[in-house]
Amino acid sequence: MSASPLPQRSVSVILPVHQQADHIESILESFYEVLEGLSPDLELIVVVNASTDRSAEICRSIAGRRAGLLVIERAEAGWGGAVRAGLGCATGDVLCFTNSARTTATDLRTAVVLGLLNEGRATKAVRRNRDSLRRRAGSVLYNLEARALFGLASWDLNGTPKVFPREFGQLLQLQEDGDLLDLEWLATCDRAGYPLIEFPVTSVRRHGGRSTTRWSSALRMYSGAILLRRRLGGADRSAGGLRSAEPAVR
């Protein structure tokens, strides 16, 4: 039996980039190779934020030969600000954002395919391992805090890629500019009652460069989660809250 065709919907993929001149060209080319053909209207939005290397120059060069590649340059640093800037320019029916320094082309393709097949559902990755004990311990503490504050069941709040349909409008109104954006994204899915599916990824090593996550940034996330809970605390939760959904597969 042949696989059913994918729904013909436009797709926008947001890729924050920071100090990635040593590998961003190969990453973007690999993403194009696996995503071409999935959508009649594919858009890759590269958001270069606070980079002092040649990241922006390299991305602009690729945009000159690749249709559908948009490059945004920001002087400000911040994961959330970069994602929000990309979402603000995105035109796709299906929206995706991911960590371009850690995501493999295969995992990105899987996420987009699941997003296309599962209309009316959000999709996110769950990392099954990490490349250091320090990162594993920090993540467990953060996820336990999120369970206590928000009642969220996911064990990998920051896992990307994350995909959602444009009709999930509350996810286009996120406010966090830093690393708390992923927690805000998941908490918003919970409060709005958006069904969510998760899929595993096993590759978490960086393609190059150095991680910007330090214990100081982790501590800011722990304290920031409390402030986010206070900000979102007054919002009404829709009936049922976050719903786990069975994914359609291709």
CA angle 213, 217, 221 (to 5 degrees): 115
> Residue 134: which H helix or E strand, with range?
helix 133-150
C-alpha 52/C-alpha 199 separation (Å) is 35
C-alpha 124/C-alpha 201 separation (Å) is 10
- pLDDT band at 138; cut points 50, 70, 90: confident
| Average of per-residue pLDDT across 213-227 | 82
- pLDDT band at 120; cut points 50, 70, 90: very high
- pLDDT band at 1; cut points 50, 70, 90: very low
Handedness of CA 187, 80, 90, 42 (dihedral sign): negative
200 SS3 class = strand
Tens-place pLDDT, residues 10-50? 999 999 999 999 999 999 999 999 999 999 999 999 999 99
Give yes or no for residue 184 having a pLDDT over 60: yes
- pLDDT band at 2; cut points 50, 70, 90: very low
Residue 124 backbone dihedrals phi, psi, to 5 degrees: -145, 155
